Amino acid sequence: IHPEVAARLSCDARLQVVLHDGKGDPLGIGWAGRNPPPWLMRALRHRDERCTFHGCDLRRFTHAHHITKWPLGPTTLRNLVLVCPFHHKLVHEHHWKVELSKAGAVIWFRPNGRRFDPSVARLQGRLDRAPPGAPS
């Protein structure tokens, strides 16, 4: 386009940086901003579907959580996971960590650094309760 047309269009334009992979698919906005734009939230919701904490089925009111805090980490699909408000608080106030493996698996870590194993957590919960009808 003619430079004068570009100059006129830029008066009302909004510039947004979008990072692409080798196939041309959008990855994210890098360090241009902390909040994912709507198209990135759609991609994140499509990938994660619900809160990524094992056993949490909340789909509504989920937040995009930066695995590596912004601005140290970019606002990209590889650095974001969906979390519900409860599990978002678990990360920020109770020092849980979350990672995304190269294969795309979400892995949660307890504050002591040990990997969270949901099968052990469920078993421990059952062992703490007396079976129905047991004397107390």
Residue at 102 is within a domain: no
Residue at 64 is within a domain: yes
Question: What is the pTM assigned to this prediction?
Answer: 0.70
Domain encompassing residue 54:
16-94
The predicted-structure confidence for 25-56, as pLDDT tens digits, reads as follows: 666 666 677 889 999 999 999 999 999 999 99
Average pLDDT for residues 13-34, to the nearest whole number?
69
The predicted-structure confidence for 55-86, as pLDDT tens digits, reads as follows: 999 999 999 999 999 888 999 999 999 999 99
Residue at 59 is within a domain: yes
- DSSP annotation string for 35-97: SPPHHHHHHHHHHH-S--STT----TT-EEEESSPTTTS-EEGGGEEEE-HHHHHHHHHH--E
Task: Give me the number of domains the chain comprises.
Answer: 1
